[in-house]
Amino acid sequence: MTDNYNIKIPVQARDVAIVAADLFGERLCGVYLYGSAVLGGLHPDSDVDVLIIIDGSLDGTQRAELTKRLLKLSVTVEAARCERHGLRPLEVTILDSVKLKPRRFPPRIEYLYGEWLRAEIEAGELPMPHESTDLVILLRQSERHSLRLYGCELSALVDPIPDSDIKRAMRGELPNLAGYLHGDERNVLLTYCRMWYTLANGDIVSKDTAAEWVLARLEPELRRPIEVARLAYLGKADDSGEYADAARLAIYFEEKISELLE
């Protein structure tokens, strides 16, 4: 967990905690802020990331009501860029405490809200339980860098995530990552940076911190896309048309990361 000194808690995160307390009552075990908000601060395109742990599962009524409220609290990425009141996209993950111990792989998500799901949700598809290897990374990040908004300490609910599970999750993610490169070069390249950093150092840091670490290890001819991606992530550059070498760099990253996964 992270000390709360100098961390500005987004109003939307507090609102999510209030909604969770209202819907789940005594079944609510804890609400935790994680992600960019506690890893150096929110950047222009950052989501507000909230982890909720409850005792048991959601019934159909709770799932529908929660979704309705989150649709109102969250805004799309496009709206956030034009928003004058500082509202951002929400990513809300709910876990069932009963399924967290003993630890299993892959872990199971009880509910996930994110703006990339808005179109499906508005078409009537409610977020449903599913297994997720990505949750392993989320839990490692949250156990080391999160802020408790409600309930007990996260360590009382979640066993420490072993490095073996981190590697197992990344082995599953790495082969698919390049497929998302076209049109989302910035996020994919920065994800490669975080994977490399995590495997080398054991911790999960902000995307810009990981990129800075990677830049010190790249040959000069490979640095430009990462330099631009980092600055654009921080809101200090326009990265349009800057990723001509992204595919070549992705191959390089895959080779480096694969070596660390052996």
Catalytic residues: 91
> Which amino acid would we find at residue 222?
L
β-bridge pairing 111-114 and 130-131? unpaired
Tokens at residue 17, please? 């905690």
Torsion of CA 68, 73, 78, 79, to 10 degrees: 110
In 3D, which of 106, 84, 108, 82 has the Cα closest to residue 95? 108
List CB contacts of 1: < 8 A, sequence separation 6 or more. 143, 144, 145, 146, 147, 148, 153, 154, 155
List CB contacts of 166: < 8 A, sequence separation 6 or more. 136, 137, 140, 198, 199
